[in-house]
């Protein structure tokens, strides 16, 4: 037996083991805790009270203006006021954070770690003040100092360390973890540049500018310059006996921790996201420096810091860049070294690791954590190979986020050989044993073995990260019922046959109602609280059902409609200020905001808009007065290398220009593309929607989360039978959603038809053919610009635009009629929708992870 499996050898928990997150208190002979340092009373008196009144708050803000910013009443502006306010609020967060981490260290609960390469946080101040219950006091305090809270909140930059849904999900989950009092930490990367800023050129093209979000400094992060990890790249790996190896040489990069406190709502429980930043290990390469090669010396230092320079802007698309693999390993290695250090501080034998630690892999991005933990256990801790694999496979759980083939990560073996030679050996060894067991279970099924192998053969071998993630995890989940079913029956079917279906689960995504209703929609939130008599619904979203009692009350309906009108006016004001365009806030607001992607089919929406425009053009002035006025809003970023997505943006912008300038459409149709979609823009748009569009080709959208945000805010849903749309309809009632389009089982057959028995669009959908013809007429700019787009529909039509177009128009017609014919019924639908969205709280999702996957308990912080 290895000495590391020997409890006796490791003995009892060490005393006074200091780490950045706490220490073990020393006890005297009677078991009473000893104060660790200096005079206890002096220490305790030094802690600021957390139940501050307005006076304490203004004092704290003024104190920070004067001593942190070195400014005064004479020269303080909104940005400065924001910074001082953030520093004041942060004190409360940190006091709770300390208490929480101290409790974890003392009680040693099992902890969950959420590894996510993206955290799309948005702004923090408003959320922090609400969660601390201090918003009103800060508002009053700022008012006394001559600022409005609104201006101050608006001065904060978004932390956009994510692309879209996956990154926002991670942010919602840490919020829920803290609120539900679960010992949950996030681990991520501290990118110097977050998601690019999107600019729209006069011709409608997307331009990208860097996002230097740290330029004004970030008051929400606590640098932990003493919490570091060495991360090796390159060098060579040597194999010893019994699966062990030695990895040496290459280049070492230093990971430095930055902590970001995550407050729960109405609880002291305050969790953490630890973001790693890369630093060169030794400032300079001294050898090159001494040789007089200054440029080269600095180059080494640049290349190390480069690792955390920038977030990759691809959503649902794998690009295979070497620096991206370096980011992934850097982050996994630093996080595991940190987790291992914390575990060892408990004094438990290593065999206890999976009883104290569970690691959730957010997509395949952190899959390298699996071979890395193997490497630590086998090479460094000298745990026998099979025992180590037992530990690993009881530690990890994996969330799959997509079935799109272009999104599945596969790294060239040659790249591993160069950067991670030891991990490559470990993966080969794991694969060898694994394929033998596949052969035993399915003798002679060589195709199955080829499909399940961790290595894809072909022109240059590639490592299949999803296969590795499944092999190394004890549970695998999809993110909505339909998606989890597709995972089980398509991309991971072989693995279900091999491991049994029990390993494969569903956890439908969720959103935090704190940010996505209370914070972004005060008008509706206040009405709900007033109606239900308390704010308890924010922590038990099913309580929204109580609104159903009032659905037919005309006074309540009026107030409900007034809240929506208020949010539409707020958005109209923003549009006026930013684009200089006046929109009629009485019109129906029809919103589609999400990453621009062919599978999400913004194309279907804009083609439908053109159809609407042509219909209006063909009407008499008299007929036009009967049209339901619409404002159609788009927003979203295209990956900089995704040419077709950028062309779709360009089409939307140019179609908008023509329609918005046409007197025939005036007052009845406005089409706008709002640049630079972000969490903060989402917070403004979502409460203002009457209808929102979630119209992906069936079977392509894993879950979607903005569908949940819109419905929670009383916007109705127009969508395909896909992702979480299905479960939303189950909850709110199919009579309250507008569904259209082909279903998932039909998709494969339709694609087959397109390939082998294509039918001209003219025959399939004359309406669509007319729209395509209109585009090619030059009305929206030269036909040659749009030809490649039109061709994707005429030839192949992989996303089934032509198959779903007529059905989409039909659904839009029903939306128009429902909105115009019976406005009161529409309001009732809106109330019912919000009232029945309880299931989609991320609190429900995170508790499902805690209970069904992590086997972890909540821990109250006093």
Ligand X SMILES: *Cc1c(COP(=O)(O)O)cnc(C)c1O
Q: Catalytic residue numbers?
A: 401, 594-595, 600, 705, 709
The 10 Å Cβ neighbour count of residue 246 is 12
CB of 165 to ligand X, least distance (A): 4
CA–CA separation, 185 and 359 (whole Å): 10
Q: Cα-Cα-Cα-Cα dihedral of 484, 490, 495, 500, to 10°?
A: 60
Q: x/- string (CB under 6 A) for ligand X, residues 715-754?
A: ----------------------------------------
Verify binding: residue 468, ligand X, rule CB under 6 A.
no
CA angle at residue 126 from 124 to 129, to 5 degrees?
100
Phi, psi of 374 (to 5 degrees): -55, -45
Closest distance of CB 191 from ligand X, Å: 16
> Do residues 384 and 5 touch, judged by C-beta distance below 8 A?
no
For residue 602, the minimal CB distance to ligand X (Å) is 11
Q: Is 650 in the site for ligand X (CB under 6 A)?
A: no
Cβ closest to ligand X, residue 311 vs residue 377: 311
| 610 is a contact residue toward ligand X (CB under 6 A) | no
Strand segments, DSSP code E, in 180-243 are 184-189, 197-200, 206-209, 222-233, 236-239
Q: Which helix (H) or strand (E) holds 717?
A: strand 716-720
Question: Is the CB of 678 or the CB of 842 nearer to ligand X?
Answer: 678
How far apart are CB 706 and ligand X at their closest, in Å? 3
Crossing angle (nearest 10°) for helices 643-661 and 602-617: 20
User: Among residues 605 and 706, whose Cβ is nearest to ligand X?
Assistant: 706
Q: Examine residue 594 and tell whether it contacts ligand X (CB under 6 A).
A: yes
Distance CA 461, CA 17 (A): 46
CB nearer ligand X, residue 682 or residue 850:
682
Do 374 and 389 touch, CB atoms closer than 8 A? yes
Q: Quote the DSSP letter at residue 547.
A: G
> Which one of the spans 65-73, 225-233, 435-443, 698-706 is the region binding ligand X (CB under 6 A)?
698-706
Residue 197 in contact with ligand X, rule: CB under 6 A: no
In whole angstroms, give the CA distance from residue 451 to residue 470. 13
Using the rule CB under 6 A, which residue among 520, 631, 679, 716 binds ligand X?
679
Which CB atom, from 232 or from 594, has the smaller least distance to ligand X? Answer: 594
* 856-to-45, 179, 203, 349, 849 alpha-carbon distances in Å: 35, 15, 54, 19, 9
Name the residue among 470, 545, 479 with its Cα closest to residue 510: 479
Q: Residue 182: is it exposed, middle or buried by C-beta count within 10 angstroms (0-12/13-18/19+)?
A: buried
What radius of gyration, in Å, describes the C-alpha atoms of the chain?
Answer: 28
With beta carbons less than 8 A apart as the criterion, state whether 796 and 635 touch: no
687 lies in the site for ligand X, by CB under 6 A: no
57 vs 724 by CB, closer to ligand X: 724
**3-class DSSP string for 123-158:** CCHHHHHHHHCCHHHHHHHHHHCCCCHHHHHHCCCC
Q: Least separation, in Å, of the C-beta of 709 and ligand X?
A: 6
682 binds ligand X (CB under 6 A): yes
Q: Which stretch binds ligand X (CB under 6 A): 305-313, 389-397, 439-447, 704-712?
A: 704-712
Residue (539 or 594) nearer to ligand X, CB: 594
- DSSP letter, residue 700: -
> In angstroms, what is the minimal distance from the CB of 704 to ligand X?
4
CA 517 to chain centre: 17
In the complex, what is the shortest distance from the CB of residue 731 to ligand X, in angstroms, rounded to a whole number?
17
Please identify, using beta-carbon distances, which residue of 297 and 702 lies nearer to ligand X. Answer: 702
- Considering the complex, what minimum distance in angstroms separates the CB of residue 168 from ligand X? 4
Least Å from the CB of residue 270 to ligand X: 23
- Residue of 844, 265, 266, 825 whose CA lies nearest to 543: 844
CB of 313 to ligand X, least distance (A): 13
Cβ neighbours, 10 Å, residue 697: 25
Q: Which is nearer to ligand X, 169 or 358 (CB)?
A: 169
Q: Residue 678, interface with ligand X (CB under 6 A)?
A: yes
Map residues 539-578 to x or -, x wherever contact with ligand X holds by CB under 6 A: ----------------------------------------
**Residue 706 interacting with ligand X (CB under 6 A):** yes
| Cα 591–chain centre separation | 20
> In terms of residues, how long is the chain?
862
704 touching ligand X, by CB under 6 A: yes
Which residues are within 8 A (CB) of 227 and not within 5 positions of it... i.e. 6 or more apart?
Answer: 20, 256, 257, 274, 338
User: Whole-angstrom Cα distance, residue 353 to residue 329?
Assistant: 21
Closer to ligand X by Cβ: residue 327 or 705:
705
Contacts (CB under 6 A) with ligand X, residues 92-131: none
Binders of ligand X among residues 158 to 177 (CB under 6 A) are 164-165, 168
Q: Which of 705, 720, 765, 834 binds ligand X (CB under 6 A)?
A: 705
Number of residues lying near ligand X (CB under 6 A) = 13
Is 513 a binding residue for ligand X by CB under 6 A? The answer is: no
Contact segment (CB under 6 A) with ligand X among 125-133, 330-338, 438-446, 673-681 equals: 673-681
Q: Which stretch binds ligand X (CB under 6 A): 210-218, 225-233, 671-679, 746-754?
A: 671-679
Task: List residues near ligand X by CB under 6 A.
Answer: 164-165, 168, 594-595, 677-679, 682, 704-706, 709
């Amino acid at each position: 037996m290895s000495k590391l499996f020997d409890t006796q050898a490791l003995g009892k928990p060490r005393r006074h083991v200091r780490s950045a997150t706490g220490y073990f208190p020393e006890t005297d002979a009677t078991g009473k805790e000893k104060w660790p340092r200096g005079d206890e009373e002096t220490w305790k008196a030094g802690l600021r009270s957390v139940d501050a009144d307005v006076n304490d708050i203004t004092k704290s803000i003024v104190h920070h203006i004067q001593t942190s910013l070195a400014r005064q009443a004479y020269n303080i502006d909104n940005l400065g006021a924001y910074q001082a306010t953030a520093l004041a609020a942060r004190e409360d967060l940190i006091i709770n954070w300390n208490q929480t981490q101290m409790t974890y260290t003392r009680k040693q609960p099992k902890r969950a770690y959420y590894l996510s390469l993206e955290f799309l946080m948005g702004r923090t101040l408003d959320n922090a003040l609400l969660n601390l219950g201090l918003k009103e006091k800060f508002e009053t305090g700022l008012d006394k100092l001559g600022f409005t809270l609104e201006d101050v909140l608006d001065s904060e930059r978004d932390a956009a360390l994510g692309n879209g849904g996956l990154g926002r999900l991670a942010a919602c989950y840490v919020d829920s973890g803290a609120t539900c009092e679960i010992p949950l930490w996030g681990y991520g990367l501290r990118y110097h540049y977050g998601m690019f800023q999107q600019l729209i050129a006069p011709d409608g093209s997307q331009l990208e500018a860097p996002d230097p979000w740290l330029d004004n400094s970030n008051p929400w992060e606590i640098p932990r310059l003493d919490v570091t990890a060495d991360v090796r790249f390159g060098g060579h790996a040597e194999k010893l006996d019994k699966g062990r190896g030695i990895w040496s040489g290459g280049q070492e990069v230093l990971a430095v921790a930055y902590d970001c406190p995550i407050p729960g709502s109405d609880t002291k429980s305050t969790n953490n996201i630890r973001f790693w930043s890369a630093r060169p290990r030794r400032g300079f390469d001294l050898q090159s420096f001494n040789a007089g090669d200054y440029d080269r010396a600095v180059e080494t230092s640049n290349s190390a810091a480069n690792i955390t320079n920038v977030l990759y802007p691809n959503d649902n698309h794998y690009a295979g860049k070497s620096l991206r693999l370096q980011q992934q390993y850097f982050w996994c290695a630093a996080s595991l070294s940190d987790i291992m250090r914390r575990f060892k501080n408990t004094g438990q034998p290593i065999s206890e690791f999976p009883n104290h630690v569970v690691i959730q892999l957010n997509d395949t991005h952190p899959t390298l954590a699996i071979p890395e933990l193997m490497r630590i256990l086998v090479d460094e801790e000298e745990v026998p190979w099979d025992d180590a694999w037992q530990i690993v496979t009881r530690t990890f759980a994996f969330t799959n986020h997509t079935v799109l083939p272009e999104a599945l990560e596969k790294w060239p073996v040659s790249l591993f050989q160069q950067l991670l030679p030891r991990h490559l050996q470990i993966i080969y060894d794991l694969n060898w044993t694994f394929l033998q067991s596949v052969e035993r279970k399915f003798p002679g099924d060589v195709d199955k073995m080829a499909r399940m192998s961790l290595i894809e053969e072909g022109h240059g071998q590639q490592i299949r990260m999803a296969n590795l993630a499944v092999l190394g995890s004890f549970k695998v989940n999809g993110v909505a019922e339909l998606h989890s079913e597709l995972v089980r029956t398509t991309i991971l079917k072989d693995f279900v046959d091999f491991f049994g279906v029990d390993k494969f689960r569903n956890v439908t995504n969720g959103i935090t109602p704190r940010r996505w209703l209370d914070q972004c929609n005060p008008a509706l939130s206040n009405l709900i609280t007033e109606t239900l008599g308390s704010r308890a619904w924010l922590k038990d979203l099913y309580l929204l059902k109580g609104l159903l009692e009032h659905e037919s009350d005309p006074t309540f309906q009026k107030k409900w409609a007034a809240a929506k009108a208020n949010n539409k006016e707020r958005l109209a004001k923003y549009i006026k200020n930013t684009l200089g365009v006046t929109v009629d806030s009485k019109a129906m607001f029809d919103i589609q905001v999400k990453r621009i992607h062919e599978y999400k089919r913004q194309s279907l929406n804009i083609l439908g808009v053109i159809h609407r425009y042509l219909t209006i053009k063909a009407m008499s002035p008299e007929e036009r007065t009967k049209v339901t006025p619409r404002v159609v809003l788009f927003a979203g970023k295209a990956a900089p290398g995704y040419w077709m997505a950028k062309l779709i943006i360009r089409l939307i912008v140019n179609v908008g220009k023509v329609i918005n300038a046409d007197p025939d459409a005036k007052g009845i149709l406005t089409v706008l593309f709002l640049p630079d979609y972000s969490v903060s823009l989402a917070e403004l748009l979502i409460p203002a929607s009457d209808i929102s569009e979630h119209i992906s080709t069936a079977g392509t959208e894993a879950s979607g989360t903005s569908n949940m945000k819109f419905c929670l805010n009383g916007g109705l849903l127009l969508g395909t039978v896909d992702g979480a749309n299905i479960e939303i309809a189950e909850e709110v009632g199919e009579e309250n959603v507008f569904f259209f389009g082909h279903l998932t089982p039909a998709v494969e057959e339709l694609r087959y038809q397109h390939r082998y028995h294509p039918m001209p669009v003219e025959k399939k959908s004359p309406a669509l053919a007319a729209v395509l013809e209109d585009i090619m007429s030059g009305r929206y700019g030269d036909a040659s610009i749009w030809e490649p787009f039109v061709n994707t529909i005429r030839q192949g039509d992989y996303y089934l635009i032509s198959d779903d177009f007529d059905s989409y128009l039909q659904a839009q017609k029903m939306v128009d009629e429902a909105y115009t014919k019976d406005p009161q019924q529409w309001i009732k639908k809106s109330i019912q929708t919000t009232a029945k969205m309880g299931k989609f709280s991320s609190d429900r999702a995170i508790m499902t992870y805690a209970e069904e996957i992590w086997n972890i308990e909540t821990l109250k912080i006093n």
